[in-house]
Structure 1
Amino acid sequence: MSIDTPEIKERAEQPYVAVKRWIAWTEFPVIADRLPEIIGWLAARGIQPAGAPFFRYVTIGGEQDGEVEAGVPVAAPVEGEGDIYAGVLPPGRYASVTHVGHPDQLAGVTTDLLGWAAEQGLTWDMSEDDEGEHWACRLELYHSDPAEQPDMGKWETELAFKLAG
């Protein structure tokens, strides 16, 4: 897989609401299916999303599992409720690339982004221990609305990974 040239972007801190779960990668729909619930939770409170829904990979425990958030950005901090909680994505420099295509291709796009960053001498804001890789912020931002673009092969997804320093 070949990606367009990634960009380095400055991102401001971003309040959001999300759910978090440790999942096997084969169980990804368990967390993905929560996004409409989060959007509905916001709508019931009269809160509009402030950007694209996302998945945030908090801990990657290996090839088989990890801790993932399904989230939606909001304009201002809010109080969570139940297992929907509020957080703030950290500000800083991010390596970012946009992919148009099926989400199943994102593993290859991620590999290419990681390779590009290594070639540039860039390092990630992450740490590693026996539990896995702990990322300060590793995002998949879904810019396509499935209601407006039902063809998943045409979805636009941005990967944005926080850089160290």
Structure 2
Amino acid sequence: MEIVTGPGIVSKPASHYVGIRVVTPFRGMFAVRDELMDELYAWLDERGVPDVGPLFFRLHVIDMDGPMDVEVGAVVPDPLDGDDRVRAGVLPAGRYASLTYVNHARRANRALVEWVRDNGIKPDRWNESAGDHFACRYEAYLTDPRTERMKTKWRVELNILLADDSA
């Protein structure tokens, strides 16, 4: 794993997006992500949506031993109407723990989570019976997956929204 920037705390503005949210087992989750990315790109292309920002993979609820509540989205410059499958949303403004890496998503996620813990920083998360719920935790794909098919070369920005009272 190559860490490109961070870990650190960054401020982000609210970002409009459209996305597809599903519940899927952890095993096979990345194949589902890839299918949803293709489906979302096709949906955006059919509507001629210009200036799509980075695609992202949002983790709403994490349960590595059970179902994962995840979403693939694309940042858009202005709010868009969705439909029954593709929904409009907003990545919330706020302070985020952030790290940008290339290769080895699991190691990079572990590095960011450990950095948050080791520095006494409080993420905006809570436990539910379904798993760890996050107000906003996502991986933004800074490399366009349509032009670089090798995932090990993608530049990815991890972001975890911090609680208001976090250091």
2:70 is matched with 68
CA distance in 2, matches of 1:42, 1:152: 22
Structure 2 counterpart of 1:151: 150
Match of 1:11 in 2: 12
Name the structure 1 match of 2:25. Answer: 24
Task: Report how far residue 70 of structure 1 moved.
Answer: 0.7
Shift of 1:46: 2.1
Describe the superposition over 1:5-58 as per-residue Cα deviations: whole angstroms up to 9, x where unpaired. 312111111111111111111121123311122122122222124321010000
Which stretch has the larger CA shift, 53-62 or 149-158?
149-158
Q: Is the 8 A contact 1:21 1:31 kept in 2?
A: no
Question: Does the 8 Å contact 1:49/1:72 carry over to 2?
Answer: no
Q: Which runs of no fewer than 5 residues in structure 2 stay unpaired?
A: none
- C-alpha deviation, 1:108, in angstroms: 1.3
Provide the C-alpha distance between the structure 1 equivalents of 2:149 and 2:21, rounded to a whole number of angstroms.
26
| Aligned length, in residue pairs | 162
CA offsets per residue over residues 74-111 of structure 1, 9 Å max, x none? 1111111121111111110001101112xxx1111111
1:91 pairs with 2:90:
no
SS, match of residue 153 in structure 1: helix
Alignment of 1:59-138 (within 5 A): 59-101=61-103, 105-138=104-137
Q: Which runs of 5+ in 1 are unaligned?
A: none
Question: What is the CA–CA distance in structure 2 between the aligned matches of 1:79 and 1:149, rounded to whole Å?
Answer: 29
The alignment's TM-score, normalised by the length of structure 1, stands at: 0.89
Q: CA RMSD in A?
A: 1.7
Aligned CA distance change for structure 1 residues 140 and 27 (closer, same or farther; 3 Å): same
Aligned CA distance change for structure 1 residues 66 and 33 (closer, same or farther; 3 Å): same
The TM-score, its normalising length taken from structure 2, stands at: 0.88
